[in-house]
Amino acid sequence: MSYEKNRAELIDSIIDRDGYIHCEHCGNPKPFKLHCHHIMFKSEYRHHKEINNKLNLIIVCDEPCHSNFHGKKKEMRKELVIERNLIQLFK
């Protein structure tokens, strides 16, 4: 599946579930900018067949959540990898 299709479905599912779009990590309902972020980084798994799997995508706000995925708070990413069983998916 394509990134664009899965991104759109992910956003639609959040709106269907909660009634509005928000950061899936901090819950900010009015972020300045949202990112559809790869949990298992595209730079690490660029050609992996599951890179755009919906389990590997999360909607996060620009600041601070998106920056934290790449910065000092890498435990955010580790928790999601475990919670979503991404190690198994990316074998």
The tens digit of pLDDT for each residue in 6-64 reads 989 988 988 898 888 889 989 888 767 888 899 999 999 989 999 999 999 999 988 88
pLDDT of res. 74: 75
- Say if CB 70 and CB 20 are below 8 A apart: no
- Kindly report the pTM of this predicted structure: 0.84
pLDDT surpassing 70 at residue 72:
no
> Which two structure tokens, joined as six digits, stand for 17?
């579930």
pLDDT of res. 64: 85
Instruction: Look up tokens 């299709």; give the residue.
Output: 5
pLDDT surpassing 80 at residue 84:
yes
- Say if CB 36 and CB 9 are below 8 A apart: no
